[in-house]
Amino acid sequence: MTKFNLQNIVRQHILTLAPYSSARDEYTGKEGIFLDANENPLGSVTPEDWNRYPDPYQSDSKDKIAFIKSCRPSQIFLGNGSDEPIDLIIRLTCEPKEDNIIILPPTYGMYEVSANVNNIEIQKIPLTTEYQLDTEKIIASINSKTKLIFICSPNNPTGNLIDRKAILKIIENFQQGIVIIDEAYNDFSDEPSFIPELDNFQNVIVLQTFSKAWGLASLRLGMAFGGEELIKLLNKIKYPYNINGLTQRALLENIHNIDFMHDSVKKLNQNREKVIFELKKLPYVLNIYPSDANFLLVKFTEAKKIFEYLIQQKVIVRDRSKVILCDDSLRISIGTEEENHILINLLNQYKPL
Ligand SMILES: Cc1ncc(COP(=O)(O)O)c(C=O)c1O
């Protein structure tokens, strides 16, 4: 079997290109008179000063994240949401109109969108009807131009965990490229992350995000964890100051408050079980799929009509009924107790036309 060789996976011109060298790259000291970046030395239009460019490599943030995730700072890439590394990993490895990626629908939509933006062929190997990997088909569809396989666990929009052994089988059988394991919802599950396994698998990148359990969706902070050489290459092609100063500061000042995250997970998981209990009583609910995330995929007798009825009442859920293997299904995020109560009351009052 092919041995993993990063040099063969990365687009050749990226290996040799000279990255932009920012002012904050060239002088990394914190003291001095800074006349090197054309900033406004007088301050900012805002009450707080944001006039200086932020740390391009977010060293302090990575030190803290590494501590929480039990990995090395050099294994971490930070992005403007995890959507940024999704796009960068594709750009790093896939030659437009030549290479291909494998995605496993129904799954998170950005893998497909980013591949399309970059003009990269997509091979779609649907999940099984139990929303698990069709490992044999995935392995059979790998060809010499396949660079990436995206696996989302817990999966969006279905909510379930993907069987770990099946993921391991894909990792073992795909040494010619990279398996991206998107763990955006891992905080809500008891499943161990793949981050501690990274030293065993050079061909794996793990994605996580501060947008979900940490409640920081608006700050846009996503993480990619991987081998040091891979992370260096992602840093080479990113925008120089991709994580803004406000985000870095908010993280540094608050990341110690990990209890908030754990409490949120506990409450939202309890709320999820209550919503399931109530949904089960409704005659229009055909199936509630098992979820290890902060949302539920629910199959209704007439999803589209219920979706529109809820919108009229200003309750907005996600219509997934046109998505493969999600016929007549809506994806419902778990809200506060009050929000869930309103949702359930509305569904109780729903009358089919
Ligand atoms: C599976 C999955 N991955 C990644 C993301 C992107 O998260 P963000 O860009 O906010 O970090 C989402 C957002 O919904 C998601 O569901």
Contacts with 295 (C-beta within 8 Å, 6 or more apart), sequence order: 156, 157, 159, 331, 332, 333, 334
Distance from residue 184's CA to the centre of ligand 1 (Å): 6
| Residue 298 belongs to domain with CATH number | 3.90.1150.10
pLDDT on residue 2: 79
**How many residues are recorded in the chain?**
353
Q: Which of 205, 224, 254 is the last residue of a domain?
A: 254
pLDDT 10s digits, 298-308: 999 999 999 99
pLDDT on residue 351: 86
Range of the domain at 341: 259-349
322 shares its domain with 221 = no
Question: Do the domain assignments include residue 271?
Answer: yes
- Contact 87 CB / ligand 1 (< 6 Å): no
Distance from residue 349's CA to the centre of ligand 1 (Å): 33
Question: Do the domain assignments include residue 339?
Answer: yes
Atom of ligand 1 nearest to the CA of 86: 4
What is the total count of domains within the chain? 2
The mean per-residue pLDDT over the stretch 50-67 comes to 97
116 shares its domain with 207 = yes
206 shares its domain with 335 = no
The mean per-residue pLDDT over the stretch 108-125 comes to 98
pLDDT 10s digits, 150-183: 999 999 999 999 999 999 999 999 999 999 999 9
pLDDT 10s digits, 188-228: 999 999 999 999 999 999 999 999 999 999 999 999 999 99
182 shares its domain with 207 = yes
CA–CA separation, 81 and 167 (whole Å) = 24
Residue 328, pLDDT > 80, answer yes
Residue 352, pLDDT > 80, answer no
Three-state secondary structure string covering the chain: CCCCCHHHHCCHHHHHCCCCCCHHHHCCCCCCCCCCCCCCCCCCCCCCCCCCCCCCCCHHHHHHHHHHHCCCHHHEEEECCCHHHHHHHHHHHCCCCCCEEEECCCCCCHHHHHHHHCCCEEEECCCCCCCCCCHHHHHHHCCCCEEEEEEECCCCCCCCCCCHHHHHHHHHCCCCCEEEEECCCHHHCCCCCCHHHCCCCCCEEEEEECCCCCCCHHHCCEEEECCHHHHHHHHHHCCCCCCCHHHHHHHHHHCCCHHHHHHHHHHHHHHHHHHHHHHCCCCCEEEECCCCCCEEEEEECCHHHHHHHHHHCCCCCEECCCCCCCCCEEEEECCCHHHHHHHHHHHHHCCCC
323 shares its domain with 235 = no
pLDDT 10s digits, 31-56: 999 999 999 999 999 999 999 999 99
pLDDT on residue 21: 86
Phi and psi angles of residue 198, each rounded to the nearest 5 degrees, phi first = -60, -30
Distance from residue 188's CA to the centre of ligand 1 (Å): 14
Distance from residue 209's CA to the centre of ligand 1 (Å): 7
pTM of the model: 0.97
Helix 258-279 crosses helix 337-349 at what angle (to 10 degrees)?
Answer: 20
Q: Which of 231, 254, 277 is the last residue of a domain?
A: 254
pLDDT on residue 75: 98
- Contact 82 CB / ligand 1 (< 6 Å): yes
Atom of ligand 1 nearest to the CA of 152: 1
In sequence order, the β-bridge partners of residue 207 are 182, 224
**Pocket mutation for ligand 1, best pick of 104, 110, 153, 216 (most atoms within 8 Å of C-beta):** 110
139 shares its domain with 288 = no
pLDDT on residue 353: 64
76 shares its domain with 111 = yes
pLDDT on residue 339: 98
Pair 350, 309: CB distance under 8 Å: yes
The mean per-residue pLDDT over the stretch 216-244 comes to 97
194 shares its domain with 284 = no
Q: Which of 254, 272, 305 is the last residue of a domain?
A: 254
pLDDT on residue 110: 98
Question: Do the domain assignments include residue 107?
Answer: yes
The mean per-residue pLDDT over the stretch 270-284 comes to 97
The mean per-residue pLDDT over the stretch 276-294 comes to 97
| Residue 241 belongs to domain with CATH number | 3.40.640.10
